[in-house]
Amino acid sequence: VIRCRAAVAWAPGKPLSVEEVEVAPPKAGEVRIKLVATGICRTDEHLLRGCFPNAEFPVIPGHEGAGIVESVGEGVTSMKPGDKVIPLCIPQCGECSFCRNPESNFCQKSHMSEPQNLLPDKTSRFSCKGKQIHHFLWISTFAEYTVVPEYAVAKIDAAAPLDKVCLFGCGFSTGYGAAINTAKVKPGSTCAIFGLGGIGLSVVMGCKSAGASRIIAVDINKDKFAKAKELGATDCINPQDFKKPIQEVLTEMTGQGVDYSFEAIGHQDTMIAALASCNMSTGIRVMIGELDSGSAISIDPTLLLTGRTWKGTVLGGSWKMRECIPKLVSSYLEKKFNSDLLITHTLPFAKVNEGFELL
């Protein structure tokens, strides 16, 4: 058993508490990882507010991390102690019908199918003050050590800087893959991205990589426009600068609406605006942002009648994560994109709550 620090959420709506926790050794088919760095994602905030579906408290949040294998359980063959890895919040069991489908990256062992609050044997590897602590999406990266099933871990290049590629565990992969895999953005096309957080800026990079000729970035925070342009946006617009709905502005800018739109915020009004901003015949609108659990959206069905498509994406669309995360890391090392620009602050572990304030 390893004793280390972890940021524990004891109940919804409360700040995280940095505690000493016990981390049990890995069982058969599991990997214990020393986490070196983690990002903070808006999904973690959903969890802390009690708005993430089927989560259980107390829990150690975090799902965007990178680290080094400390030990492996019986039967683990794909990695060994000392290997650099990224734990995956979408596993790849390789056996379910979704994993066998080449067009799917969703696994039926994922939280939306079956809660990942405990490891597959329905027990936890975390305890604190004599109490069982739940896992989050199996990976709980707000801990100095974590235990994860082997099929939810990707081994990456030993040269990778863990404090930079931790973003590949969620934010960068989600946004970049939404453009490349889910929308399948075509060269010469027009795209609109609603929301320029880490995921929205990653969509901008994906659209540029796919050869889009016009990339329109939409946000109410003008301070984000310079970075969006540096990453490939051709236009940046603030909805607050216009008296008409933003979908009308985008339609006038492009003639008939954009070819692809992406909502990377998680608000009902921007989700509908993103759909309406697509051209009415072949426009594709991709939902990336998360609404609170139990939310519903009302839309005018004629928005879809003439041919628009509304798609959802999770962790980058059709990428098989255990196979594709290592390839993404290799592309990063080859300088095919600059995801380092997504990092705005670097904080010590004890200031995790300050990180959420900055978010």
Give the CATH number for residue 258: 3.40.50.720
pLDDT in tens, 39-68: 999 999 999 999 898 999 999 999 999 999
Q: 66, 85 in Cβ contact below 8 A? A: yes
Is the same domain home to 18 and 133?
yes
Is the same domain home to 147 and 251?
no
**Domain final position from 312, 335, 350:** 312
Give the mean model confidence (pLDDT) for residues 213-219.
Answer: 98
Query: Tell me, what's the pLDDT at 264?
Result: 95
Is the same domain home to 23 and 159?
yes
Is the same domain home to 43 and 190?
no
Is the same domain home to 157 and 192?
no
Tell me how far apart the alpha carbons of residues 9 and 15 are, in angstroms, rounded to a whole number: 7
Give the mean model confidence (pLDDT) for residues 69-84.
Answer: 97
pLDDT in tens, 254-286: 999 999 999 999 899 999 999 999 999 999 999
Nearest to residue 208, comparing CAs of 222, 223, 191, 221? 191
Is the same domain home to 23 and 51?
yes
**Other C-beta atoms within 10 Å of 353: how many?**
15
Query: Tell me, what's the pLDDT at 294?
Result: 78
- Going by pLDDT thresholds of 50, 70 and 90, the confidence category of residue 112 is confident
**Domain final position from 312, 329, 345:** 312
Q: Within the chain, how many helices (H) and strands (E) appear?
A: 11, 15
Q: What are phi and psi of 222, to 5 degrees?
A: -65, -20
Is the same domain home to 7 and 151?
yes
Is the same domain home to 182 and 298?
yes
Is the same domain home to 182 and 41?
no
Nearest to residue 263, comparing CAs of 207, 203, 208? 203
Is the same domain home to 291 and 342?
no
Tell me how far apart the alpha carbons of residues 187 and 64 are, in angstroms, rounded to a whole number: 30
Domain coverage including residue 343? 2-170+317-358
Q: CATH number of the domain that 147 lies in?
A: 3.90.180.10
Query: Tell me, what's the pLDDT at 319?
Result: 73
Tell me how far apart the alpha carbons of residues 195 and 203 are, in angstroms, rounded to a whole number: 10
Query: Tell me, what's the pLDDT at 191?
Result: 98
Is the same domain home to 37 and 150?
yes
* Count of structural domains within the chain: 2
Is the same domain home to 40 and 84?
yes
What residue type is 56 in one-letter code?
Answer: E
